[in-house]
Structure 1
């Protein structure tokens, strides 16, 4: 569950307002949910209370697990604190929790401190958490001391937890009103309860709250068009185009990065070789692939797409990975001067970047269809590599930190998958130069053909690009070959920013979908800074590009598809994204195959009629337990043949009694 990037949500509402059903709809797409029940069992003679509890139990899917905290209200904070980043918790509700907290059996107790502990646990929890609580502040002040103590304690708990949560929603008469952030959602519906004339069976949750647009990120967001009354075509929907490039770089304060071990100085983040970044879960991936063998999948299974399930499981840290529901495309725009851009139409890359910012073009169309956000990033322009360094070292450092902060900003917004794209003039030649320096490739072998706007192949422009790369390699033949030197001499701004994105995404455990020479060149450079980065990368398609094929082979990234599209870097990945999501949805939702005794449990002879004609494969209790292979005895020849020494001598039997297969 993630409401447009928010992982912790407080759902408030009055009695019978639909708050519990709304909270359940927020986590309906999670394969597993830990339901934390806080209320006490109550009086066994209270049939109405027992019916309420049973109604809640009947709505929970069978894949959910239930935890009770009524015996010790202080344990709720421990349950929230112990949740991992791939867990989903539904706490229902804080009213029952406060009731138990104020129970005389748990007194004396510091109720204020216990509420503060719960709020701190929610604020620091990496899991997806939905908390339900009744809103009693709108009613009359109770006339009894105990009633006033309950409303005061619940009000304090609601305020503390609301402050700690990313989002707060108030459900009134089945209608969701988002209080934090103060934005109007596109649609927000509360599921209809079963038994109210809708025909919904018990235990099934219908509907789901739509994502709420984020505030504070200066985004331009377009609504999907609705059907026209005259039956005409619908207007094309636009993707979420993010205008800010990255959060501002902190000045004078150390970089805060609890998920990584990096050298720190007073000026901020230091990116250098030998960084210790996280690795994907080494057990979750194989467990997820093994689990696929137990699912009720017809045919021979998912084929090579099993790698998608293993990759998602390892990067999500669970054997039951979920589809990537929050995807962001980073379109890097940075031109290269000199003959690296030979054959490029002047201003074409700027036009493509402006087109993407406006939500138009191939990449924006594919992003909108995939429900992905699109962020256009202007990288520093690079000088002619054949004459001088493409960037100075200070610009390389800034570009690396800039890319890192882009990944940090995506992680803070709840992005679960990044897609790297690029549209700079001369980017292919710069990537070929990086491959020549890092993998010893010959420039003509990794430099793709130059195709004009009219679709013709321009061999003269291709030769000028090859000459630029070879001249740059000759100029730097005595230069150091470490990562930052390669970026400064050959790579340029877009590859440097892409390298920073890969490193920052690795530090925040965000997988990256690569597609094109810029992303693969950044993968080659990031390998020399932090070898863990390549394990968080997935290559959907090589696109028939020679540089991508070579870099993928060096990095150990096997392309999943071979579409051979040529729509620009990033388009192949977005084309394949719906397929990858479908595979993950199947892996998470399919039931297990029936075991022995089921429909497909036995396929042998139930009557035990394994005679001579069945090859002796099923011999029951008379079979030799030590026999490692079936009996393949050949029939004895009826007349003279190779097994006889004379015309009338009988054939000699095989002394071993059977032949090896």
Structure 2
């Protein structure tokens, strides 16, 4: 671990239990049966613990789309060619992707980071923080060096801190990278203990033969690299991705600054598993958005102890599920801020 990474991990503190208890008790004074707003009440309590504030203001919201390519696409693991990563970065920058549409509706900004796209990206609005031009094919050796993995983690930390300094008070994880469900499945298999077969899904929509290629590629990658399942950084560098490392760093950076980070789908959850391995306390700063159609996503969330708010059978990525969840988080906070108490409304409490 680098000094920067160590300092970030050490800065992640437990949630504010006093504020959580204050909001929990206050929820019971509002004009509703105790616990009747379910997950909204849980979210408001968690957010209070994260921020140390009873009703934090989420005026500036950002979804960070980390973009990077994967050498393992050479093994035929994706239904789309690698160049699509670069093309989609341009689409994000031009506002034409699904995440742009949903972010506009949610009043959130899309921040696109080129952390490892295989080609040069020259377009206004994209943060070029390239560590390298895509990972290596992990079937032939580590996806990246330890130094590259740490650099990518630090990019994520830097992005989180820059956004927070600019006034963004809630962040969401997003990604783009052809081949990244293969890397994520490898990470999930290693860090959750499930079999490779259980961890692999259709990703971009590969057929049964494509799924077999993904399984075989991951098994070969694990055999060649022998990742240490007790060392999340070792797993990340050997079978992970640059954008996955960037998301991991973003999570750690948000947690170190007591800012909620909304976790998107399968790829983001693989990054969350790495973040937990590096800094167990970081999990408490994560808010799960949705459970994707990827088979191992639910298992990964369960191991993290994160309950998804939505189940829309989505598997697009980009941060789409996370941005949809912004509405619910803001609703949870507004309930505490705006709803009348039994006393203020003159409503009788139960006997």
Q: TM-score, normalised by structure 2?
A: 0.87
| Correspondences of 1:548-563 after superposition (within 5 Å) | 548-563=297-312
Alpha-carbon distance, 1:552 to partner = 1.0
Q: Would the aligned equivalents of 1:399 and 1:497 in 2 still touch at CA under 8 Å?
A: yes
Identify unmatched segments of 5+ residues in structure 1.
1-261, 604-661
Q: Secondary structure at the match of 2:280?
A: coil
- Over 3 Å counting, the alpha-carbon distance change for 1:372 and 1:274 in structure 2 is closer
Q: Distance in 1 between matches of 2:51 and 2:89?
A: 32
Q: Which residue of 2 aligns with 1:379?
A: 115
| Correspondences of 1:106-117 after superposition (within 5 Å) | none
| Correspondences of 1:348-497 after superposition (within 5 Å) | 348-380=84-116, 381-452=134-205, 458-477=207-226, 481-497=230-246
Q: TM-score, normalised by structure 1?
A: 0.47
Alpha-carbon distance, 1:292 to partner = 1.2
- Over 3 Å counting, the alpha-carbon distance change for 1:284 and 1:463 in structure 2 is same
- Deviation readout 1:63-88 (Å, 9 max, x if unpaired): xxxxxxxxxxxxxxxxxxxxxxxxxx
| Correspondences of 1:132-151 after superposition (within 5 Å) | none
Q: Distance in 2 between matches of 1:526 and 1:496?
A: 9
Alpha-carbon distance, 1:322 to partner = 3.3
2:17 pairs, out of 274, 282, 295, with 282
Identify unmatched segments of 5+ residues in structure 2.
117-133
Q: Distance in 2 between matches of 1:511 and 1:301?
A: 24
Q: Secondary structure at the match of 1:594?
A: helix
Q: Which residue of 2 aligns with 1:304?
A: 39
RMSD over aligned Cα atoms: 2.5
Q: Would the aligned equivalents of 2:189 and 2:196 in 1 still touch at CA under 8 Å?
A: yes
1:527 aligns with 2:276: yes
Q: Which has the higher contact order (CA 8 A, sep 6+)?
A: 2
Q: Distance in 2 between matches of 1:600 and 1:270?
A: 53
Q: Would the aligned equivalents of 2:267 and 2:317 in 1 still touch at CA under 8 Å?
A: no
Alpha-carbon distance, 1:334 to partner = 0.7
Q: How many equivalent residue pairs?
A: 332
Q: Would the aligned equivalents of 1:565 and 1:572 in 2 still touch at CA under 8 Å?
A: yes
Alpha-carbon distance, 1:395 to partner = 1.0
Q: Which residue of 2 aligns with 1:14?
A: none
- Over 3 Å counting, the alpha-carbon distance change for 1:425 and 1:271 in structure 2 is farther
Q: Distance in 1 between matches of 2:335 and 2:7?
A: 41
- Deviation readout 1:468-495 (Å, 9 max, x if unpaired): 1111112233757422211111112111
Q: Secondary structure at the match of 1:532?
A: helix
Point out the structure with max Rg over C-alpha: 1
1:291 aligns with 2:44: no
Alpha-carbon distance, 1:289 to partner = 2.3
Q: Secondary structure at the match of 1:283?
A: helix
Q: Would the aligned equivalents of 2:68 and 2:114 in 1 still touch at CA under 8 Å?
A: yes
